[in-house]
Amino acid sequence: MKITALKRILLFTFSVMMISSNAQEFDESLFFSQKDKIDSLLASEKYTEAIKAIEIQIIYLKYTARYDSLKLYTYDLGHAYLSVKKVNQAMRRTELLVDFIEEKVANKSVLLDAISDLSWIYIEAGEDSLCFENDKRYLSVCEVYPNASALEKSTAHYSLGFDYQMLYGNAKKAIYHFEMALNPVEKDSLNYTKRMMECLNALGAVFFRNGEYAKSQTYLYRGLAFSEFLPDTVDRFRHQANIYGNLSLGFQDEGNLVKSKDFLNHAIEIRKQLLETEPPGYQKSQQERLLISNYHNLAALYLSIGDISKSEQISKYVQKLRQKYLVADHPDHKKSLEAFGSIQFALGEYDQALANFEKYLAGDIADYGMNSYYTAIGYERVSKVLFNQGDYLGAVKNYTQSINIGKKITDEFSGQELAKGYLMRAQAYEALQDYESAESDIRQARKIYLNTLPGNSPIIGKLFTQLANLKCERNQLDSAQYYVDMALAIFLEKQSEQVSLYQTRLSQFTSFISEAYLTKAKIILNQNSDIESEKEALEFLETAIIYLQKTSGLYTDEADLLTFYNEHQRIFEKTQEITYSLYHQTGDEIYLNKFLAFEEESKSLLLRRQLGKFTSLRVTSVPDSIITRERILQREMSGAIEPNDDSRDIINIEAEYDQIIDLIQKKYPDYYNLRFSTFIVNADDIKRELIKPGQNIIQYMMTDTSVFAIVLNEKNTQLLKFDAPDLRKELQNLNTAITSLNQNDFYKSSAYLYTTIFEPIEKYLDGSELFIIPDQDLFNINFEALIKPSERKEPHYLIYDYTISYLISSTTAYQYKNLKRSQSNGLLAFAPGFSDDLKSDYVNHLKDSSLFDINYMKRIQQPFAVEAASDAAGIFSGRSFVSNQATEHNFKSQAEKYKIIHFGTHTEINNISPLLSRLVLSKASDTDSEEDDGYLHVYEIYNTPLRAELAVLTACETGIGKTSASEGMLSLAHGFAYAGCPSIVMSLWQIDEKTSAAISHEFYKKLASGVPKNQALRQAKISFIKSNSSELSAPYYWSGMVLLGDVSPITNSSGSNNPMWLFALVILAVLLITSLFVVKQYKL
């Protein structure tokens, strides 16, 4: 080793001596030979050898006085040192070389190029402050250089604009420098197309960060247009990727996540292709950093839509990319802290999130100082966690730091990000009941918005509503009345204008109108609490609900629709409080039906809409051209697709849509009523259509401190209210006790729940068959497991006295009953099993390492689930897909044909965005395909047309999802309901695989013999309880599976145990015996 190192040093020294002996003679062939060698070493990434070759070339150029050519190596020398992790040498050697050029070269253009290269070395080394000082050096040289070109003048300001935007987040100074960069090249745009596009893209990005979204998109689209004039295809792709990335951020902020994701994925694909062909150098280094940034933003995008698993997967991949491409102490490494902190915040893991955000903030302060955009963001992140932890004083303190920084780096009179900061701090002040300070912050925010937006903008209306609420809290009712009237005036003014309803919805028009009506009702009730005042308040709230119904029809995205209704849920709760009070004061059943209608309206939005679509498809009289045109116009209004004619704006589109709807209403009333009506059942409808003798419907509605219950049967109609301040806590305690097999805690919580929410209604029941419509957290429990007080030694569960199943809502049950269904037969079963062979097959076929799914590899094997799937298929003469055949593709291609669908697999429940909850299936061999990625999401199930009468989901926790106030419990089980399946057996917790297989087997046997679904499941459970020890008879083992929806027996099944088949076999046997007997008698 020592001899080899010595030889290398001697050879290097000998080379230098040979060069120095001919110092004054420049040999062009020798120069280019060495240059080719350097290029080859860099291309093959042999950086240690490249460093020596570059150093020799520099010495040669110095001794031959070819100083201008030294510029060729300013970037290559620094980059080579950085590539072998010698950061200090990289910066020092490049600095010395640039200083030497400044001393020896008269042509300042050469010096400017060298200074620009040094800035890139500083950026790659993570020394942002040195880069900033070096860019100021570039500007100072350019300002005293009379022959500076337009491009050099532009570069001087463009670099500083980049620093102020990306390094310090100072929007004011960034805009100034980018505009100064644009001026010298704009006069000759054809010759400076590339720089024009860079400046336009930069201005678009900084205006977006400043909250000026219209300006942002104008500059970005203008830059995209200029990109088409770039003659170099590779250069064009580089700059288009930059613009696509920035456009993605704009559309994400607008809420158009489909477009945002498309633009971002397009940018990522371009960069990945460029990196395959880019030679080593600053262009490749830049694309690596930008690819990291795009992936980082993609992770944030998935987090914003609630796909936490995907966000975490991408964030971990980004962390690996940073470790691969960035030096060890690069400041961008701490962005992983922000990414993982945001994921933990979304999951409610506030302590871990706070720790990560505080580290991120400390790093920002160390790298960028106090007056930086990144530091302001760090304080804001910390504030949000503290607010959610209930530390409102801490939140105010950190928001104040963020606001003070914002005042320095943005325009104090027009910075919309600063206005958002005031509004967030106002929330913290309001939580502290410091209404005066909250009001002051809202006024500051309003002042900023009034400087940048029209006075009748929706955000101004929202601020008026917030001020009205604050005044109402302080019992300053006259002031509250004034502000709410101002908010309603904006609403009425917007209604009188010919403005697109969809556009105003996007600009948060509906975000304040329900609050304004709710505040109006509160003011009326605070002034008087008599019957007439309640009626007056109810009129305002009913008007608001009618408006909500009209607006909801414009939503084509399920998640957006749920968000829209959840934002306005308080208006339904207040309406129900008033109708309950009026019903018990007046005895007028109109108020009971109104209570029921409002409860039904706020529940099961997606399912009612989907069932309307299924039913409307049975109407064949409407021409396909009209239906297709109506769907296209609706998608154009939602922004899901672009209009095919650029001359048509949103106003024209909505006018045509209104004409189509009018035509359908007049010519095809049946289709119109099915497709667009907002039908809600009343108490008489329910009694007439849904209830038979011995059956009861119990519908619950929860508030923070009480529970309402409607009890309907042939004999009774009751609207009841119970005080239950500890209900949510006890519901959680019950499930915790069940799953942890804690008998004492279970008895305690079960007794509380029985006496609080069930015993008060028991005297109104008629018969033993119960259909329960839960609300919010009540979806998390199985009433069968509640214990009824008894003198018996063994616990007396409600399952012994009642046959209990569940409904999503009364209206959807009514719609299912009237839904005409196509014929289907047999059972289709899926069970991946997650064997080692299955996982190995996945790894062997993986093409893109960024898509590696570590969670898939951790799945616990499920051999009993595979056996149960095969067993179920055997009972009903069906088909089972197990192991690597249990794919998403096979489900989508086969599901429509079968009467029963069975899943035995793992699930991932997404409590942030329930529509992204999913069943885990086998990965297809083509694992890069998003359409067959091994996950069957709720939103995919929605759009799968099913003819099944029953879906059985024995996967873990299929029934648990986020409590959505407007939709009950959204979960995978509901996804099958939305797809048209009227009955679902689902699990409420991580059920035991072996015992669930045993209960499923017994359930299927009874089902095949013609027993109704609810009775079949009850009998299977009771049989399991009685045939097992006291330990296995605990509710954990048997009460996890519940039935949701229609309870009718399975009809016309092809199962071998079906009564019709048995009857046919008996008849055939009788005929055969008879014929044999006749033949025998004849022979005798």
- CA gyration radius for the chain? 35
Domain boundaries 693-813, corresponding CATH code: 3.30.420
The pLDDT, as a whole number, for residue 408 is 82
**Domain range summary for the chain, segments of one domain joined by +:** 67-327, 328-452, 693-813, 823-1053, 1057-1084
Tokens of 449: 């918005």
The pLDDT, as a whole number, for residue 614 is 44
DSSP assignment of 132-167 equals HHHHHHHHHHHHT-TT--HHHHHHHHHHHHHIIIII
What is the pLDDT averaged over residues 698-721? 90
Q: What share of the chain is helix, strand, coil (3-state, %, to 5)?
A: 65, 5, 25
Answer yes or no: are the C-beta atoms of 169 and 409 closer than 8 Å: yes
Answer yes or no: are the C-beta atoms of 519 and 528 closer than 8 Å: no
**Which pLDDT band holds residue 702 (cuts at 50, 70, 90)?**
confident
Which is more confidently placed, 114 or 247?
Answer: 114
Place of tokens 């190995």: 840
Answer yes or no: are the C-beta atoms of 541 and 573 closer than 8 Å: no
Q: Is 371 exposed, middle or buried (0-12, 13-18, 19+ CB in 10 A)?
A: middle
Answer yes or no: are the C-beta atoms of 597 and 811 closer than 8 Å: no
Angle, CA of 330, 322 and 848, to the nearest 5°: 170
Range with top average pLDDT, 53-67, 810-824, 967-981 = 53-67
**pLDDT tens per residue, range 318-340:** 999 999 888 888 888 989 999 99
| Distance separating alpha carbons of residues 636 and 640, to the nearest angstrom | 6
Answer yes or no: are the C-beta atoms of 243 and 201 closer than 8 Å: yes
Beta strands in 703-747, from DSSP E residues, in sequence order: 706-712, 717-723
Long-range contacts of 221-226 (CB under 8 A, 24+ apart): 221/247, 223/196, 223/197, 223/198, 223/199, 226/189, 226/193, 226/196, 226/197, 226/200
* 223 Ramachandran zone, left/alpha/beta (phi>0; psi -120 to 50): alpha
The pLDDT, as a whole number, for residue 17 is 45
Q: In this structure, are strands 918-920 and 907-908 parallel, antiparallel, or unpaired?
A: antiparallel
| Distance separating alpha carbons of residues 787 and 797, to the nearest angstrom | 5
- Count of residues making up the chain: 1084
Q: Is the pLDDT of residue 859 over 90?
A: no
Tokens of 161: 């604009």
Q: Is the pLDDT of residue 362 over 90?
A: yes
CA 12 to chain centre: 59
C-alpha closest to that of 802 among 819, 817, 785, 827: 785
Same fold for the pair 67-327 and 328-452: yes
Q: Is the pLDDT of residue 1062 over 60?
A: no
Q: In this structure, are strands 950-953 and 900-903 parallel, antiparallel, or unpaired?
A: parallel
Kind and range of the H or E run holding 1029: none
Cα atoms in the Cβ-side hemisphere of radius 13 Å centred on 526: 17
The 8-class DSSP code of residue 884 comes to G
Place of tokens 């945001």: 342
Which top CATH class is 823-1053?
alpha beta
| Distance separating alpha carbons of residues 62 and 64, to the nearest angstrom | 5
The pLDDT, as a whole number, for residue 561 is 60
Q: Is the pLDDT of residue 759 over 80?
A: yes
| Straight-line distance from the first to the last Cα atom of the chain, in angstroms, rounded to the nearest whole number | 110
> 3-state DSSP call for residue 717?
strand
Angle, CA of 1078, 1080 and 1083, to the nearest 5°: 110
Q: Is the pLDDT of residue 964 over 60?
A: no
**pLDDT tens per residue, range 868-886:** 888 888 888 888 998 888 8
**Which pLDDT band holds residue 819 (cuts at 50, 70, 90)?**
low
| Distance separating alpha carbons of residues 30 and 35, to the nearest angstrom | 9
Answer yes or no: are the C-beta atoms of 893 and 945 closer than 8 Å: no
| Distance separating alpha carbons of residues 672 and 666, to the nearest angstrom | 9
CATH 1.25.40.10 fits 67-327, yes or no: yes
- Look at the domain 328-452 and name its fold: 1.25.40
What is the side-by-side strand order in the sheet with 918-920?
A: 907-908, 918-920, 935-937
Place of tokens 């299936």: 921
Beta strands in 1022-1062, from DSSP E residues, in sequence order: 1041-1045
Q: Is the pLDDT of residue 188 over 70?
A: yes
Kind and range of the H or E run holding 804: strand 803-806
What is the pLDDT averaged over residues 736-740? 87
Contacts of 483 (CB under 8 A, 6+ apart): 464, 465, 467, 468, 471
Q: Is the pLDDT of residue 538 over 70?
A: yes
**Which pLDDT band holds residue 139 (cuts at 50, 70, 90)?**
very high
| Distance separating alpha carbons of residues 517 and 524, to the nearest angstrom | 11
**Which pLDDT band holds residue 585 (cuts at 50, 70, 90)?**
very high
| Distance separating alpha carbons of residues 354 and 403, to the nearest angstrom | 20
Answer yes or no: are the C-beta atoms of 767 and 695 closer than 8 Å: yes
Range with top average pLDDT, 221-225, 446-450, 908-912, 1001-1005 = 1001-1005
The pLDDT, as a whole number, for residue 762 is 93
* 845 Ramachandran zone, left/alpha/beta (phi>0; psi -120 to 50): alpha
CA 48 to chain centre: 46
Answer yes or no: are the C-beta atoms of 438 and 460 closer than 8 Å: no
Answer yes or no: are the C-beta atoms of 320 and 290 closer than 8 Å: no
What is the pLDDT averaged over residues 465-477? 90
**Which pLDDT band holds residue 649 (cuts at 50, 70, 90)?**
low
| Distance separating alpha carbons of residues 548 and 525, to the nearest angstrom | 22
Q: Is the pLDDT of residue 891 over 70?
A: yes
Q: Is the pLDDT of residue 917 over 70?
A: yes
What is the pLDDT averaged over residues 617-631? 62
Q: Is the pLDDT of residue 736 over 80?
A: yes
> 3-state DSSP call for residue 769?
strand
Kind and range of the H or E run holding 219: helix 213-227
Contacts of 496 (CB under 8 A, 6+ apart): none
Which is more confidently placed, 150 or 912?
Answer: 150
Q: What value does the mean pLDDT of the chain take? A: 81
Which percentage of the chain shows pLDDT scores above 70?
A: 80
> 3-state DSSP call for residue 693?
coil
Long-range contacts of 591-598 (CB under 8 A, 24+ apart): 592/683, 592/710, 592/717, 592/719, 593/682, 593/683, 595/708, 595/710, 595/719, 596/680, 596/681, 596/682, 596/683, 596/699, 596/710, 596/810, 597/680, 597/682, 598/545, 598/572
Neighbours of 848 (CB within 10 A): 10
What is the pLDDT averaged over residues 144-157? 93
Which is more confidently placed, 820 or 121?
Answer: 121
Q: Is the pLDDT of residue 143 over 80?
A: yes
Q: Is 404 exposed, middle or buried (0-12, 13-18, 19+ CB in 10 A)?
A: middle
| Distance separating alpha carbons of residues 432 and 441, to the nearest angstrom | 14
> How far is residue 662 from each of residues 448, 626, 657, 659, 766, measured CA to CA in Å?
43, 12, 9, 5, 46
What is the pLDDT averaged over residues 95-110? 94
> 3-state DSSP call for residue 375?
helix
Range with top average pLDDT, 18-27, 161-170, 393-402 = 393-402
Which is more confidently placed, 1054 or 895?
Answer: 895
C-alpha closest to that of 608 among 687, 542, 696, 674: 674
> 3-state DSSP call for residue 961?
coil
